[in-house]
Chains A and B, each alone.
Chain A
Amino acid sequence: AQTVTQSQPEMSVQEAETVTLSCTYDTSESDYYLFWYKQPPSRQMILVIRQEAYKQQNATENRFSVNFQKAAKSFSLKISDSQLGDAAMYFCAYTGGFKTIFGAGTRLFVKA
């Protein structure tokens, strides 16, 4: 069975600094996607970034980038120039076939 593990329940970062959130997963499939979703307090979950497993190049979206290590089954999220609006729960997710598996999440605090 596929699993997704986020080992950091909470992280804190100073505004304008950089923070990295960790995620590891386990699967025997070769075709899958990985996602980072953001869930602000009392608001809907939204996509931050997506990585196709067959692509070696790491995905980037403005201040957000990933470090995808397929052999190590690692998928970390780097947030550069952190902003107060980045404060939220961040979930790493794996999609293979019809099912999506989420990690337990990392709560990110941003200090002004």
Chain B
Amino acid sequence: DTGVSQNPRHKITKRGQNVTFRCDPISEHNRLYWYRQTLGQGPEFLTYFQNEAQLEKSRLLSDRFSAERPKGSFSTLEIQRTEQGDSAMYLCASSPRGQLYNEQFFGPGTRLTVL
């Protein structure tokens, strides 16, 4: 069990470009979460997957953001037409099947800088 992994760890892009991040949860964890964290703030919920189904999506997630988890394993988060305000740490977390309120295991995050 190697924990939750995220790639890339850092991404620098120019405004207007598209970016995609990948999250590999702990194997056999069927629940997967994406969060955004800006400096000095707590993680902000973006979306939740149970297996391949996206069951919850924050209203903060604009049309430029999309997430997928096609086979119920890894997940991708894509941001289209990036803006400077998208600069943040993007965190992924997973939790095991069973109780809905299980502990979430967090990855190291992907730090996005939009120039």
Contacts and interface: CB of A to CB of B under 8 A. Distances in A.
B102 to A, nearest CB: 9
B107 interface: yes
User: Chain B: interface residue count, which band?
Assistant: 20 to 34
Question: Which of B43, B50, B58: most chain A Cβ within 10 A?
Answer: B43
Nearest to A6: B42
B101 A44 contact: no
Interface residues of A, number: 25
A93 to B, nearest CB: 8
A109 interface: no
A54 B103 CA distance: 17
A32 B35 CA distance: 19
Interface of A is mostly: strand
A98 B48 contact: yes
Contacts, number: 56
Interface in A57-112: 91, 93, 95, 97-105
- Pick the 8 closest A-B CB pairs, nearest first: A102-B42, A33-B101, A98-B56, A45-B106, A98-B48, A47-B103, A102-B43, A91-B42
Given A45-B43, A45-B91, 17 more contacts: A32-B101, A33-B101, A35-B103, A44-B106, A44-B108, A47-B103, A91-B42, A93-B42, A95-B100, A98-B50, A98-B55, A98-B56, A99-B45, A101-B45, A102-B35, A102-B44, A105-B42
Contacts of A44: 3-4, 106-109
B33 interface: yes
Interface in B75-107: 91, 93, 100-101, 103-104, 106-107
B2 interface: no
A54 B55 CA distance: 25
Contacts of B106: 37, 44-46
Given A98-B55, A100-B104, A105 B41 contact: yes
A15 interface: no
Contacts of B44: 102
Contacts of A91: 42-43
B45 A100 contact: yes
